[in-house]
Amino acid sequence: MRSSTLNPPLDEVGQFIEYICADGDCLHLNSQQRVPLPPPGKVVVLREGMLAIDATPAKGKLQVLDFLVAGDVLSAATVLPAPGVSLRAITRASLVSLDPPSANRIVPVHDYWAFLVMRCHNQLARANIHQLLVGRLETEQRVASFILALALRKGRMDSRSVTVELPMSRTDIANYLVINCDTLSRTMMRFCDSGLIERESRHAIRVVDVEELKKKSPLASLLSAMFEKRAGLEEFGSKCQAEARTSEDEDRRVTPLVLTVAGLTPLPATYPHSPRGGL
């Protein structure tokens, strides 16, 4: 699996996720494997890959509610545990079931909960934007907004163009946008013909000019506010900066990760914990 969109290089957020996942129970999923939602009181983090939240509200017709990426949180607080709602792996994925780190000096309890709250806030914002997308936008605007959101998730970009991975099927994308597959294909072809995007492979496109793509999306300012502020290593969730605090356990020479509203402290140069091996 390529690492450009679904699994970006580890920054301080990614390293924090490795910390909190270190002692959790891991579940590996193959592509298209389906699992139920976590039970009440259980918190699960998507460590790697992409998941779809599926619902079948009536007559067995599938509706994709969201696409989850590495770092997203699953619990009864983020996904309505209604009948017919389940998780489906779009790619190979791994889920980690978390336990509050009551005795973990590397990740203090207040850091742990602050991180989870921030992730929930981010996912709630995405859900609200999706409601606006399917409720108010025309077809071309929906597709442009969807591509733009995936592009902005990559964080700070060094050029006007960016490669966006689309590991989900055409049917899944059309379902998520509440349009039919043929309409999605025609819209993507118009974007290609106009020079807005280029197809790189079956599951990847290149946005030729992100600024031009933003002009196609009435939600560009909302998407930029949600994703672009997470680009810097010093930012996470909002503009609040991280503050460092000396560990109370000097003998272990551990500098804990301290969150202040929405930030991660810089990690020590030497990692006190080596993440588990490859998945």
User: Which CATH number is 146's domain given?
Assistant: 2.60.120.10
Asked if residue 258 is part of any domain, the answer here is: no
Which three-class secondary structure state does DSSP give residue 142? helix
Q: What's the whole-number mean pLDDT along residues 174-188?
A: 96
Asked if residue 274 is part of any domain, the answer here is: no
The whole-number pLDDT of residue 199 equals 94
Number of separate domains in the chain: 1
What gap in Å lies between CA 25 and CA 209, rounded to an integer?
Answer: 42
Asked if residue 16 is part of any domain, the answer here is: yes
Asked if residue 268 is part of any domain, the answer here is: no
Q: Which residues pair with 201 in a beta bridge?
A: 204
Q: What's the whole-number mean pLDDT along residues 206-211?
A: 94
The whole-number pLDDT of residue 250 equals 39
* 141-178 pLDDT, tens digit each: 999 999 999 999 876 666 789 999 999 999 999 999 99
The whole-number pLDDT of residue 25 equals 87
**pLDDT higher than 60, residue 233:** no
Return the percentage of the chain with pLDDT > 90, whole number.
Answer: 47
Q: Which residues pair with 73 in a beta bridge?
A: 45
- The model's pTM is 0.76
Asked if residue 141 is part of any domain, the answer here is: yes
The whole-number pLDDT of residue 172 equals 97
Name the least confident of 24-33, 167-176, 266-275: 266-275
**pLDDT higher than 50, residue 261:** no
Burial label for 248, CB within 10 Å (0-12, 13-18, 19+), is exposed
The whole-number pLDDT of residue 68 equals 94
* 86-145 pLDDT, tens digit each: 999 999 999 999 876 654 556 777 788 888 888 888 888 999 999 999 999 999 999 999
| pLDDT class of 203 with cuts at 50, 70, 90 | very high
* 245-258 pLDDT, tens digit each: 333 343 344 333 33
Q: What's the whole-number mean pLDDT along residues 25-42?
A: 91
Asked if residue 35 is part of any domain, the answer here is: yes
Name the nearest CA neighbour of 65 among 77, 49, 78, 47. Answer: 78
Asked if residue 216 is part of any domain, the answer here is: yes
Which residue segment(s) compose the domain that 202 sits in?
Answer: 12-252
Within 10 angstroms of residue 149's Cβ, the number of other Cβ atoms is 23
Asked if residue 277 is part of any domain, the answer here is: no
Q: What's the whole-number mean pLDDT along residues 172-187?
A: 96
Q: What are the distances in angstroms from CA 272 to CA 169, 266, 267, 275, 278?
A: 40, 13, 10, 10, 18
H or E element in which residue 141 lies: helix 139-152
Q: Which residues pair with 165 in a beta bridge?
A: 204
The mean pLDDT of the chain is: 78
**pLDDT higher than 60, residue 52:** yes
